[in-house]
Amino acid sequence: MKIHALASSLLIATTSAFTPTPHHSFLPRRDVPVLKTSSSSSLKMVNVGIVGATGAVGKEIVGVLEKRSFPVTALKIFGSSRSAGKTVETKFGTVTVDEFDVDKARECDVVFLAVSGDFALEHAKAISAEGGAVVIDNSSAFRYDKDVPLCVPEINGDKTKGAKLVANPNCTTAIGLMALWPLHKLFKLKRVMMSTYQAASGAGQPGMDELQEGTKSVLMGEREVAENNIFAHPLPFNVIPHIDKFQENGYTKEEMKVTWETRKICDLADDFPVSCTAVRIPTYRAHSESIIVETEEPVDIEKAREALASAPGLKLVDDTDNEKYPMPLTATGQYDVEVGRLRKSLVFGDNGLEFFVCGDQLLRGAALNAVLVGEEMVKNGEFAEKAVA
């Protein structure tokens, strides 16, 4: 009872620091650093639509558009009939939510979809058909379609040229590739092995709510083990090596997404060896990944550091003497992916490297990547003709 009483007092004193705020964040934000990419301020103005702007990723898209000064002429937010008529305060003014309509969405220059794959399958191509809007889809609906670019702008932004529908990668893939790509260019990857430690927010706001409420119920002495509805097992004080459905080969779909998407984004062979084990952990936000690579060329650690330190979208945090390395606490709310713990692999020797990355999956793994895709397409002139019309 004394332990529960102490835990209760601590919880009451600290819970407010983790309660989702009414704006675009679920944890207290730190100052957002400027990305090592071009600013949106000099880009041509476009009409922007968002479907799903009241969800976790959708809120972050609005926030990134604001912070990146994306060249928004007008912002339209589409929702369900229940959401229609509500207002959302943004940097671009007060926006009244419209009930989703394909024809209205087609009037935009670009539409960000932050909704389910089923919704995207039903509506994305209709929105982006000739004369319609460019669609940037955050779901998995079109990621493996050979005719749809799967884009991380710093890696394959050129694939968006002429595209009317672009897929955003899985958050785990996007975070890992920010570090893998510079190393691939330097040493040529031969195989990749990854273990992930994924936050509750990967399951959206309901996942974060279940973690918070379950943790509170245990610390308050109301339950010995938290309830679970969102996750396969109780997440508080636990880790769950199970994200998404198990496949016939024993991997989960989440793990196979890393394999499939790494090959497509980096233009690797269909049999390029990528293996992943995905684990859900009881943190709110920011996914972490332990990555081991074997390379074709011998690894030079200092050259690897230089490449990672200068790569856009990355922050080298690798000062073990002062206990500085990537962590969810420092990566949360940040645009750059943290990378550190660099060392030569004891398994692969001179042709191996091991490191740790951590990135905010609602940003780099979703909203930020989507907005950067939009910026890339604005720079490429993809919206010029429609904007003039």
Cβ proximity of 50 and 112 under 8 Å: yes
Burial of 191 (0-12, 13-18, 19+ CB in 10 A): middle
Q: Which entry of 151, 171, 276, 358 is annotated as an active-site residue?
A: 171
Residue 171 annotated as catalytic: yes
Burial of 301 (0-12, 13-18, 19+ CB in 10 A): exposed
Strands across the sheet with 72-79, in order? 98-99, 72-79, 46-51, 110-113, 134-137, 165-167
Q: Which residues are registered as beta bridge partners of 189?
A: 295
Q: What are phi and psi of 381, to 5 degrees?
A: 80, 20
Nearest to 279 by CA among 261, 260, 252, 259: 252
Task: Answer left, alpha or beta for residue 170, where phi above 0 means left and psi between -120 and 50 means alpha.
Answer: beta
299, 267, 58, 317: CA torsion to nearest 10: 10
Q: Find where tokens 């119920």 sit.
A: 217
Three-state DSSP class for residue 227: coil
Q: Which residues are registered as beta bridge partners of 46?
A: 72
89, 91, 92, 96: CA torsion to nearest 10: -10
Q: Which entry of 24, 123, 184, 287 is annotated as an active-site residue?
A: 287
Q: Which residues are registered as beta bridge partners of 353?
A: 293, 344
CA angle 149–150–154, rounded 5-degree value: 105
Residues with active-site annotation = 171, 287
